[in-house]
Amino acid sequence: MKKLALILFILLNCANIFAQKLERIEPMFWFTGMHNPKLQLLVHGDNIAASTISLSYPGVKLVKVNKVENPNYLFIDLELSASVKAGKFPINFSAGGKKIFTYTYELRTRDKSAGRIQGVTQKDFIYLLMPDRFSNGDKSNDVVQGLAETTLNRDSMYYRHGGDIQGVINHLDYLKDLGITTVWMTPEVENDMAQASYHGYAVTDHYKIDPRYGTNELYKKYVETAHAKGMKVIKDIVHNHVGTNHWFYKDLPMKSWLNQWPKFTQTSYRDQTVMDIHASAADRKKMLDGWFVSSMPDLNQRNPYVQNYLTQNHIWWIEYAGIDGLRLDTYGYNDPVYMADWALKVQAEFPHLSVFGETLVTAVPNQAFFTGGNTVNRGFDTHLQGITDATLKDAIYEGINGKNGWVDGINRLYATLAHDFLYKNPNTNCIFLDNHDMSRFYSMVGEDFDKYKMGMSILLTMRGIPEMYYGTEILMKNFSNPDGLIRSDFPGGWEGDRKDKFITDGRTNKENDAFNFVKTLANYRKNSPALQTGQLMQFVPQDDIYVYFRYNAEPKGTVMVIVNNTEKDKTLNTDRFAERTKGITMAKNVITGENQPFKEIKVPAKTTLVLELN
């Protein structure tokens, strides 16, 4: 009987050994010369925890092999010396004293060539686009068999339309001509969900570009092509959640990988609970740990394995592709302590990288609370450089559409900017008029072309980093409700489109007027030190006229902006602005190129004048 039991034990042990199967190691390769010598490899495979790990490579130390709740995972801690050389080495997986398989791991040399990871600043003008809706440059990847969604239907706002990275590459010259310096795409990583994941915010593989957009290699080429044209790239990343079809959601490493609840609990979306000194712990937990929606599981960023996984993934993409900046989705929903640590680790590797977080909130203090430098209020520094300035966006709308009053109309814009003292550096905020989650600007101003020009003039002369949503330059319109038409295709981005708005002949006269207006101001901005690096000085609105200046220590090239949001023409006497205009007798209209006397300035109704003072 004992002999039979021994035979059964040996057979079961052998079965256990041969049942092991390696499915993936992430990151799949790494880089030498990183600031942080530590590297944690996530290893996934059937019963992989039964393996013994060994490796031998000069400068690489195997520190620890971590087993977790799920035997299909191992987390391997490595330490790389400062002198480690690029190269390949085997990671051996053994069981019962026998080697089962080997993974050849690669260390690559960091790319320190000029022009990579430049950062995004006030000198730039960002163009936000959704790759699925911008241009189809490669029809061969429109439908990829084996993915959860294989329907291509441009007649529906909720199916894939076929746009891709090659389509963006094909139109970089169009963007450069328009005056764009930086391209921001909604997330390009794989979103293998059943439907309506074209937006990119339900990631299912952190290390893989969605095959309907292209490949990792094509994404790298896109960044390099943009750089070769003198343009920059922002990558949109999501810390907070993943899609329910993510490979690790289907086989969680451990229960604490996610924020778990007895039953489905959605976030309250109440950012105030994070900063409210009177808030209950339960309300704060619901905000931070509740799921964004049922199809987007909430990651537990207090888990050190989750922390390492996310941070290393972002560092990997930046180094691999040479990205210039990051936009952080749903910033306020993330664990604050982890995000501060994340910022420090990323900035240590890439000191010139620019980062701004999405904060769609309703007040300046709420936005400023999340930014770096507010240690008195938070007790620690978030090290977040800037935010998406939603309150300034709301103030611009009020300034254009509202009726002037003590705190309304154009006075709202003045008052909002007066709160800039709450930021360590308001110039690093990303300013905008609309995006992929809200009604389009042209519709929000009632398709009034005068108001459109007013808003675009403010956007391109205000402090901060301006961002424009794709199609705004050709007066694309629609409201966020119903039917998601704010995410319509850019006309001409698909073979066979009836109209091609990428070219002059394909646009209407008014669309060309809009395009040329943006182009003139954006390209002027490229060569204006005042708009690129200048300080902001604003004057209290009087007689419904709002005036602000952008200027440097050197007075040459000071820009004066005059906003008349009323239905009446106005005449502005400039004596009041002497501290910025001493000695000025003439001003040049940036849009028309005409020079005009400076003493008395005629400001037409519903107009923003942009004047260069010399």
- In angstroms, the CA 274 to CA 336 distance is 9
Distance CA 122, CA 469 (A): 17
> Exactly one of 190, 319, 358, 467 is catalytic; which is it?
358
The strand pairing partners of 613, in sequence order, are 558, 587
- Return all residues near 342 (Cβ < 8 A) that are at least 6 apart: 239, 307, 310, 311, 314
Separation CA 516–CA 503 (nearest Å): 12
Residue 418, both tokens: 């007066």
Number of Cβ within a 10 Å radius of residue 537? 15
Q: Are 585 and 598 in contact (CB under 8 A)?
A: yes
Dihedral of CA 536/539/541/542: which sign?
A: negative
SS3 content of the chain, % helix, strand, coil (to 5): 30, 25, 45
State the amino acid at position 293 in one-letter form.
V
| 495 phi/psi in degrees, rounded to 5 | -60, 130
Distance CA 596, CA 586 (A): 6
CA gap 176, 222 in Å, rounded: 14
Residues belonging to the chain: 614
d(CA 174, CA 183): 12
Distance from C-alpha of 433 to C-alpha of 417, rounded to nearest angstrom: 16
CA distance 441 to 585: 36
Instruction: For residue 516, give both structure tokens.
Output: 């040329």
β-sheet bridge partners, residue 157: none
- Rounded to 10 deg, the angle between the 336-349 and 304-321 helix axes is 30
* Catalytic status, residue 579: no
Q: Give me the phi and psi of 269, to 5 degrees please.
A: 65, 15
The residue behind tokens 């490229």 is: 526
- Indicate the residue type of 568: K
Whether 329 is a known active-site residue: answer yes
Which one is catalytic: 26, 289, 324, 329?
329
The pairing of beta strand 232-238 with beta strand 465-469? unpaired
DSSP string, 140-209: GGSS-TTSS---B-TT-TTSB----HHHHHHTHHHHHHHT--EEEESP-EE---SSS-TTS-S-SEEEEE
Amino acid sitting at position 238: V
End-to-end CA distance of the chain: 102
In terms of phi and psi (left: phi > 0; alpha: psi -120 to 50; beta: otherwise), the region of 222 is alpha
Residues with Cβ within 8 Å of 269's Cβ and at least 6 positions away in sequence, in order, are 287
| Dist CA 213 CA 190 (whole Å) | 9
Active site amino acids: 329, 358
